[in-house]
Amino acid sequence: MMIADTIALILVIVGSLNWGAIGLFGVDVVSSIFGAGSMISRIIFSLVGIAGLWTITILFKDKLPAEHRD
């Protein structure tokens, strides 16, 4: 697994835990720590979104024939 894949998966996990906290407890952990609407919060949310898009490529990597894999 590439380093980018690992980082993306970690960010997606962080994002999913944050959404779980919002859904279950009504607490946005990222905004609570860094401030609602702050630049740092927006950067974190953007990185999580980009990581989510990146993980789509991970989903389809196993579908490639062996000779086309990294």
CA–CA separation, 60 and 69 (whole Å): 11
| Beta carbons of 34 and 40 less than 8 angstroms apart | yes
Convert the pLDDT of each residue in 12-29 to its tens digit. 999 999 999 999 999 999
Q: Is residue 70 part of a domain?
A: no
Q: Is residue 67 part of a domain?
A: no
H-type helices in 26-38, by residue range?
A: 29-34
Q: Is residue 66 part of a domain?
A: no
The number of folded domains in the chain is 1
Convert the pLDDT of each residue in 31-63 to its tens digit. 999 999 999 999 999 999 999 999 998 888 866
Q: Is residue 43 part of a domain?
A: yes
Task: Return the DSSP state at 2.
Answer: -
Task: Give me the domain span that covers residue 28.
Answer: 3-61
